[in-house]
């Protein structure tokens, strides 16, 4: 009986089966995608368009991740299949959302420069920079007012364009405050995580992170008060977030530990945002 050819090592077989770019490995990004979307949807009132908008949001993120990875690879062919697949998959939900809610097209000029800037960072291999963190977090958090406007009865060009022009229509001031709060939290998370990974031991960067959280605590509490919502729960949570930005980097916390901590914090901030927009009373 002929001998079987030797099997390649397990690690080599795994690498051969793995197709890069299909599924993001940045697990924390899913909370950043989910919290603004859920808060905006519940604030505006769930509607059928939100189902399609959720599909568009998820597929759009998968496509964005694949394109960024392809650009970082210097456009290697092996990274191209997920770019093609996710880009094609994006067409149907995008068209369906615009059919149900044409006014949402007004958000395109807002998102476009953010996406272009982030993809440029990927091309320049600066995807770990604060610039890239800032534009991607801003884009993710802007889904809160997008989802809110999609749920408005008879959403019109005036509804969406009015808020972009800083109108003070009922509900929009609370949505603006909630958007600012989740944006402030997630950008703070980017600073905080860097003090635990890439900038661990960097005392200057740790001080920047703590100072940022302290300033944000005051700002978001004031924003909640200005929006006519209780400010003290917001202040209490952000005081705790400031304390964790000071204390945790001084410990030997592992990625799984602080990752679970940020997941829990994201849920708490999401609940606070629901309170700010009036969903929780």
Q: Which two tokens mark 205?
A: 């960067």
What residue ranges do the domains of the chain occupy? 25-167, 170-281
User: Which pLDDT tens digits describe the chain residue by residue (281 residues)?
Assistant: 445 555 655 555 544 555 687 888 787 789 999 999 999 999 999 999 999 999 999 999 999 999 999 999 999 999 999 999 999 999 999 999 999 999 999 999 999 999 999 999 999 999 999 999 999 999 999 999 999 999 887 555 555 555 454 444 558 889 999 999 999 999 999 999 999 998 998 999 999 999 999 999 999 999 989 888 889 999 999 999 999 999 999 999 898 888 999 999 999 999 999 999 988 76
Rounded to an integer, what distance in angstroms lies between the CA atom of residue 161 and that of residue 164?
5
3-state secondary structure string across 93-124? HHHHHHHHCHHHHHHHHHHHHHHHHHHHHHHC
pLDDT of residue 152: 81
Task: Provide the pLDDT for residue 165.
Answer: 44
Segment 5-30, tens digit of pLDDT: 556 555 555 445 556 878 887 877 89
Query: Can you tell me the distance from the alpha carbon of 224 to that of 161, in angstroms, rounded to the nearest whole number?
Result: 23
pTM, to two decimals:
0.88
- In tens, the pLDDT along 223-261 reads 989 888 889 999 999 999 999 999 999 999 898 888 999
State the pLDDT at residue 256: 87
């Amino acid at each position: 009986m002929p001998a079987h050819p030797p099997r390649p090592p397990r690690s080599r077989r795994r690498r051969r089966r793995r197709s890069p770019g299909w599924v993001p490995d940045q697990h924390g990004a899913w909370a950043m995608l989910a919290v603004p979307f859920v808060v905006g949807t519940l604030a505006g009132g769930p509607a059928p368009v939100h189902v399609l908008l959720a599909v568009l949001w998820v597929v759009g993120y998968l496509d964005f991740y694949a394109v960024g990875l392809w650009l970082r690879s210097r456009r290697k062919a092996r990274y191209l299949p997920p770019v093609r697949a996710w880009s094609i998959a994006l067409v149907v939900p995008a068209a369906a959302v615009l059919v149900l809610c044409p006014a949402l097209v007004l958000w395109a000029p807002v998102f476009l420069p953010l996406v272009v800037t982030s993809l440029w960072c990927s091309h320049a291999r600066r995807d770990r920079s604060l610039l890239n963190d800032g534009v991607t977090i801003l884009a993710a958090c802007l889904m809160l007012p997008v989802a809110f406007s999609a749920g408005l009865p008879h959403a019109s060009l005036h509804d969406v364009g009015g808020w972009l022009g800083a109108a003070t229509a009922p509900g929009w001031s609370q949505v603006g405050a909630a958007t600012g709060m989740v944006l402030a939290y997630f950008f703070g998370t980017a600073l905080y995580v860097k003090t635990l990974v890439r900038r661990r031991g960097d005392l200057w960067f740790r001080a920047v992170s703590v100072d940022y959280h302290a300033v944000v605590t005051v700002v978001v509490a004031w924003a909640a008060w200005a929006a006519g919502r209780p400010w003290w729960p917001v202040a209490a949570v952000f005081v705790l977030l400031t304390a964790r930005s000071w204390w945790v980097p001084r410990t030997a916390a592992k990625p799984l530990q602080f990752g679970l901590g940020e997941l829990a914090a994201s849920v708490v901030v999401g609940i606070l945002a629901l309170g700010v927009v009036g969903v929780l009373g």
